[in-house]
Amino acid sequence: MQQSFRQLEERNLSVEVTLMQWSPKMDLIALANENGEVLLQRLTWQRQPIWTLSPPSEDEGKEVRALAWRPDGKVLAVGYQSGRLLLCRVEKAEVIHTTHVDQPITCMQWSAALDKGLDSEANGQSSVKADLGAAGDAPDENSSEKFLPKLPSLSKISSIKSYIDDNVEDAKKLKEQKRLNMLAVGCNGGTLILLAFGVAPIVNVDMSQFIPTTKCGDFLGASLSSDLHTICVIVEYSNEEDVTEIYNSLLTLDCILLASRHQEISRYAKKFGKIRTLMEYLEATLKAVTEAKEDILIEMENKLTKYAQQKPTEESLSDEFLQLLLWGKASPELQQFLVHDLTEKGLKKLDQSVENSYVSIQKLVLKHIHSVGRSLLFQLSELKGMALWYDKYGMLGLNATAIQDAISAVGSFMLKANELLQVIESSLKNFKAFFRWLYVIVMQLMEEPIQQSISKMYQRDINFVADFLAENFTDEPSLDVTKSGFTLERVGQYLRKEDLQFPVSTAPNSWQDFVASSPSLRGSDLLFPWQRERSLSQLHDVVKDAVDHALSRPQSVGGESLSCRESFTLDKRSETDHPEYRTLSQQSLQDQSKLLTVFMTEPSPAQCIYMTRQHTKPDRSSQNETEMVCLTFGTLGRSDPDESIVSLAAESHLVLDAAFYGDHSLSLLLQEVKDEGSINNGKPVLCQLSLESLQAEVEFTPMSQVKGHLSSGQHISIDAGPLVTSRRMDNMRAGRLAVSGSRKVACVLFSNQRRVRLFDMDAEDEGEDEEDDEENQLEDSSMVVAEEGSGTDN
């Protein structure tokens, strides 16, 4: 039966396209090209893309291996050869989350969990809740908004990600996610990762434990059923005895933990996203603190060191300054040093620079570090409370001890931040007194007029200067010119990844004596340890390691909870064969508790295509095992008895590509075969195959009855040509297909991968397929890379 799918656009591309993925909610299509760029185009296909995401900065691994849309269409996942996984906010092309995996990413699929497909028996509930994110016995997800103030923006003081300025508390865009969704990521080497909301790793499992060898290759496909009971994966592997033969295996995994604890996983994932956002905010704040630190004091230390090494007298420099302070007398050498080396302008600049730097750091610590520290303690404390409820959250792998270690690390970091504030306050007080005193001395030596308000020195100011000299000028510089004997700059040591050179000295007090004498207080979780010798930067690394450790256990527990229900070998190829493009598409049928997979066992164009059908919630009945069918395509459509004109359609077709159009249809891209098996004169055909008709009229064969692997041909092929509706396409050599049932659109990529043709799949064609030759020759669409965080207005 012929179907007139209306052609919308046909456009050229300047770079070869490698991947295409339609948005499930908007008329947008994401394209990845061979340069490692990701482009977003509208259905109308303007000359300029909406935005272009530049490839990562790595020297290698820039190739985009997989694309996946979040079910709401607001976030796009991009997986690279290097193992980098980016989540991009579609509105502004902003990278809102980055995940690094150890192996190259080879496939991804983002699935939504539907409440009607999930049972609550394992939770002891009588009925399914309408909203996976709502439960009366769960901690309030918005409790932090009630008890904590909003984090201040960092955009004006640091060059950081712009998304933090929009809404820091929801930087991962999880607040609107009411239903759980999972991003399945397959990696080279057989590693499968499931990320709740694309952010929180829930499962990390090595597939080599489920196959007869440990030599796993690429993941070809991974799909999680909408009821979260079953994962269907296809993975390559080779035998240890003969590595030249590569096999493809279909595995069906049971994931009872995911299905029975979906509500807990949803809440944990949102808590994970908040904690990760706060950690990114803390790192950005420390970056801003480092940028605010001035190194001008080091220049003064070098000048003092040089003078101390070259002065003719053996008297220490601190004694000379003390005599100058007490008696107002200075040696000719010291006078020369003050007037010509330090100078009046140099002292004013030094005073202003140090004050600006220290005040900026002080504001960052008071306003930002304190705020994010409080929020981290709050979120980690709530996470610890969840971990202590073992029946619900503890069994996910949350460990209260590890979370408490992270809380203690954050507490120690906060104590060190308070210590830094004390050092800044003390340094500012002494520096201002010291620089003002030196400025007055220099002006007097230069016989310049001085304002009376500046020249007055009170006893308090003299004490400040004396304390400053005693603290920073006590040690004489060594003969090694690379080391300074002066310690003017004591703030910078807190921002280096090394122990403090001059830790704060504290005298014993009654509180420390009381804590030391009380064993219960010494081991209390309520008292944070003070790391006297460690720097602020070192303790930040400790916080990162502790938080990573606290959040790492759930993915291991989730991986251990998986079990292999079935395993079948699909086909094999020689290691020397080039791994050309082969179709693989998966779809979870929500209303039938089934998971369908279509794939090829030979490179495109293929003689046939295979479809497997798996039950997501099997019982002990033998009827629930995995089934398959091999589909070929002869004459398309059913013959019309009233048709008097003989059809000129081909009697057989090869399969170029296939993709699920949704729950009800399978889209196919076929190639006519004419002239004794030649495809040169045949046209490509765009087809729709009803899944309901297929399952009603075609008998599926249990995989257990298939002898050998599928590529051996020991099975019966079914001609599905009469079941399809089709449209022949003129003037093109087709290559691949991308469809969206929710948006009722299709995109056909030419075989040269540099031209596309778009179709409206739910409308009649209003005119002829082809335009004039001049109109068909369109200019190449330029691919201007937009700046990060901005889009191109169409």
Per residue in 555-584, pLDDT (tens digit) is 999 999 999 988 888 888 776 565 566 778
Can you tell me which residue has the tokens 């954050």? 410
State the angle between helix axes of 344-364 and 400-445 in degrees (0 to 180), rounded to the nearest 10: 160
Q: Kindly state the tokens that stand for 621.
A: 């009945």
| Whole-number Å distance between alpha carbons of 281 and 368 | 9
Angle at 101 between CA 100 and CA 104, to 5 degrees: 115
| Percentage of the chain modeled with pLDDT above 90 | 35
Edge-to-edge strand ranges of the sheet holding 563-574: 215-224, 230-238, 245-254, 563-574
| Whole-number Å distance between alpha carbons of 334 and 304 | 10
pLDDT value for 198? 94
Mean pLDDT value of segment 504-511: 78
- Compute CA distances 585 → 29, 595, 599, whole Å: 17, 11, 7
In the three-class reduction of DSSP (H, G, I as helix; E, B as strand; rest coil), residue 636 is classed as: coil
pLDDT value for 282? 93
State the angle between helix axes of 370-388 and 262-292 in degrees (0 to 180), rounded to the nearest 10: 160
The segment with the largest mean pLDDT, out of 316-330, 527-541, 591-605, 614-628, is 527-541
In the three-class reduction of DSSP (H, G, I as helix; E, B as strand; rest coil), residue 623 is classed as: helix
Give me the chain's average pLDDT, please: 81
The segment with the largest mean pLDDT, out of 15-29, 429-443, 760-774, is 15-29
Residues 6+ apart with CB under 8 A from 323: 329, 330
Question: Is the distance from CB of 533 to CB of 525 less than 8 angstroms?
Answer: no
- Compute CA distances 431 → 297, 321, 427, 437, 502, whole Å: 11, 15, 6, 10, 17
In the three-class reduction of DSSP (H, G, I as helix; E, B as strand; rest coil), residue 311 is classed as: coil
Can you tell me which residue has the tokens 């929710």? 742
pLDDT value for 143? 67
| Whole-number Å distance between alpha carbons of 23 and 742 | 9
Q: Kindly state the tokens that stand for 274.
A: 């908040």
pLDDT value for 365? 92
pLDDT value for 673? 87
pLDDT digits (tens, 9 = 90+) for 326-381: 777 778 887 888 888 777 787 777 778 888 888 888 899 999 999 999 999 999 99
| Whole-number Å distance between alpha carbons of 194 and 263 | 16
Residues paired with 224 in a beta bridge: 231
Question: Is the distance from CB of 194 to CB of 558 less than 8 angstroms?
Answer: yes
Position 447 pLDDT exceeds 80? no
Q: How many CB atoms lie within 10 A of CB 420?
A: 23
Amino acid residing at 65 = R
Q: Is the dihedral of CA 413, 418, 420, 423 positive or negative?
A: negative
Phi, psi (rounded to 5 degrees) for 524:
-80, 140
Position 280 pLDDT exceeds 60? yes
pLDDT digits (tens, 9 = 90+) for 703-737: 888 877 776 666 778 888 889 998 888 888 999 99
Task: Give the pLDDT band (50/70/90) at residue 487.
Answer: low
Phi, psi (rounded to 5 degrees) for 676:
55, 50
Overall size of the chain counted in residues: 794
pLDDT value for 341? 79
pLDDT value for 142? 63
The segment with the largest mean pLDDT, out of 157-166, 445-454, 642-651, is 445-454
Reported as type and span, the H/E element at residue 512 is helix 510-516
Can you tell me which residue has the tokens 């010494």? 522
Task: Give the pLDDT band (50/70/90) at residue 37.
Answer: very high
pLDDT digits (tens, 9 = 90+) for 94-142: 899 999 998 999 999 999 887 654 544 444 443 334 343 444 444 555 6
**3-state DSSP percent of the chain in helix, strand and coil, to 5:** 35, 25, 40
Mean pLDDT value of segment 672-679: 70
Q: Kindly state the tokens that stand for 296.
A: 């001008």
**Burial per residue of 222-248, b for 16 or more beta-carbon CB atoms within 10 angstroms, e otherwise:** bbbbbbbbbbbbbbbbbeeeeeeebbb
Position 793 pLDDT exceeds 70? no
